Amino acid sequence: MQIRKRPLSDQFAALLVVLLLLLTALGNALLLFIVAVAGLLAGMYYYRGSMGRGGALAATAAFTAALIIALFMLIR
């Protein structure tokens, strides 16, 4: 049985989701907001040609959700 290698963007997206979940669990809204904005901008720049595929789409969705969560945490 051969193990299929995952693309680097999928692995990167998984690590980013773990980082965002950790920041959410810590309850530091300002740091979560900064990381989400920086990650969203960096992801849009880095993945601008392939935004609709795999890990790039997952990372964009994760950063957008983290940004919304951070805004709710800051407003509250």
Q: Name the band, by pLDDT with cuts 50, 70 and 90, for residue 48.
A: low
Residue that the structure tokens 């983290």 belong to: 66
pLDDT in tens, 54-65: 667 777 788 888
| Overall pTM surpassing 0.75 (yes/no) | no
Give me the residue spans of the domains in the chain: 28-76
**pLDDT of 1 over the 60 cut:** no
Note the pLDDT of residue 27: 83
**pLDDT of 67 over the 70 cut:** yes
Contact 45, 60 (CB under 8 A): no
pLDDT in tens, 19-42: 888 888 888 888 888 888 888 888
54-75 and 29-46 are packed helices; what angle lies between their axes, rounded to 10 degrees? Answer: 150
